[in-house]
Amino acid sequence: MSKPNIIQLSEFDITQKIIESLSNVCTRAVLFSIKTTSKDANQIAEELKISLSTVYKTLSNLEELALAEVDQYIISNEGKKIKQYRSRIGKVEITINDLEPRLNLYPNDSPKS
């Protein structure tokens, strides 16, 4: 069996997926935005001056990678259920040794809402 190439590895290796995600400026901005305070997608979009659809896509990706979570639900004045997101990580360290990346994720110590 042939050795998988980098492209093939990135499809299956969660460490690689997290590193790729965190290399994106928008992803990092959203993650840092919800590190100390839970926020909904509208709040994040307004704060970061990015589109709401980009925020939703980013949050979905962060949830899939277990880097963010729904901290709580609030009910709007119109009776809609709104998700408040929170970062699950407080610190990330990425090191590369002998071409192998090592990823250390540290929990978010900020108090939950």
pLDDT block averages, 10 residues each, the chain of length 113: 48 79 95 96 97 97 94 92 95 86 88 70
Residue 89 contacts by C-beta under 8 Å, 6 or more apart in sequence? Answer: 31, 67, 105, 106, 107, 108
CATH number listed for the domain at residues 13-107? 1.10.10.10
> What's the rounded Cα separation, in Å, for the pair 85 and 95?
28
Residue 16's pLDDT is what? 84
The ranges assigned to domains in the chain are 13-107
The pTM (predicted TM-score) of the whole model is 0.81
Q: Are strands 81-87 and 68-75 parallel, antiparallel or unpaired?
A: antiparallel
Maximum Cα interatomic distance, the chain, rounded to a whole number of Å: 59
3-state percent helix, strand, coil for the chain, nearest multiple of 5:
40, 30, 30
Q: What whole-number distance in Å separates Cα of residue 113 and Cα of residue 102? A: 31
